[in-house]
Amino acid sequence: MSVAGKTVLITGGGNGVGAETARQLRARGANLVLTDVDRSALDGVVGELGAGHALGIVADVTDLAEMESAVAAATERFGGVDVVVANAGIASYGSVLNVDPAAFYRVIDINIKGVFNTVRAALPSIIERRGYVLVVSSLAAFATGAGMAPYSASKAAVENFANTLRLEVTHLGVAVGSAHMSWIDTPLVRDAKSDLPSFGKMISRLPPPLSKTTSVDKCGKAFVKGIEKRKRRVYCPGWVGVLRVIKPLLSTAVAEASVGKDAATLIPESDAEIAALGRSVSARYVNDE
């Protein structure tokens, strides 16, 4: 599918993978509708893309009415939505025992409820145009780590959401995919490394290639290729797909011993760092709550 002249709605489009995917799609002739809660970041990306082919809308994915309004604005401006990328997502800090419950609930709201609201709002237009839905999940959907309970649970949930949606809309000419990435050099990952030295230690001690971080440029390329080919699965890097195939093995005692061998020291260290921070999320999300 050529994206030239198509309209793509991307949530979380103000930075990171969302913004980079928008740039690469625009280079291929797509119109972009970007939503985010950060007006300044949105304005910056829309300015790069050119206001004639990009629309930035401040909208909270946890509010269905706001997402419906965003789709209405996209339809008024560009005639409809051909592709939706449910990309907005956050992570929290802390073990199940110590994470701030409000932060846990916030992750679930944005990462699961937000995906539903985004897809629900855009789906009538996607069906009309026989378009494509890309739900952004993660490697964490099938290979988790200590301290990642809300994030991993949310990403497993939206992978299954995408699988179910595919069954419901394939006969209508709509294709549905899920995206699964390892560590990407985004604000989410950089903030965690900056806030929690233990997080950087945890990544560095993972067995390769799990310890590697990938650029947003490479991730954007994978997303664009997935959209153009209407893929059922998008992996970045490609080896993530291998881990999905061997998912049943990842929760065996042997595998968990390898990946989680440092949890006994790193989790108490991480929880202490979080207590000192006084928050269970990145500072950039504190004012969004």
Give me the active site residues, please. 151
Instruction: Judge residue 223's burial from the number of C-beta atoms within 10 Å of its C-beta, 0-12 exposed, 13-18 middle, 19 or more buried.
Output: buried
Q: Map the chain to HEC letters.
A: CCCCCCEEEEECCCCHHHHHHHHHHHHCCCEEEEEECCHHHHHHHHHHHCCCCEEEEECCCCCHHHHHHHHHHHHHHHCCCCEEEECCCCCCCCCCCCCCHHHHHHHHHHHHHHHHHHHHHHHHHHHHCCCEEEEECCHHHCCCCCCCHHHHHHHHHHHHHHHHHHHHHHHHCCEEEEEEECEECCHHHHHHHHHCHHHHHHHHHCCCCCCCEECHHHHHHHHHHHHHCCCCEEEECCCHHHHHHCHHHHCCHHHHHHHCCCHHHHHHHHHHHHHHHCCCCCHHHHCCC
Determine the residue type at 124.
P
CA distance 61 to 135: 13
Strands 175-181, 233-236: pairing is: parallel
Cα gap 84→82, rounded to integer Å: 7
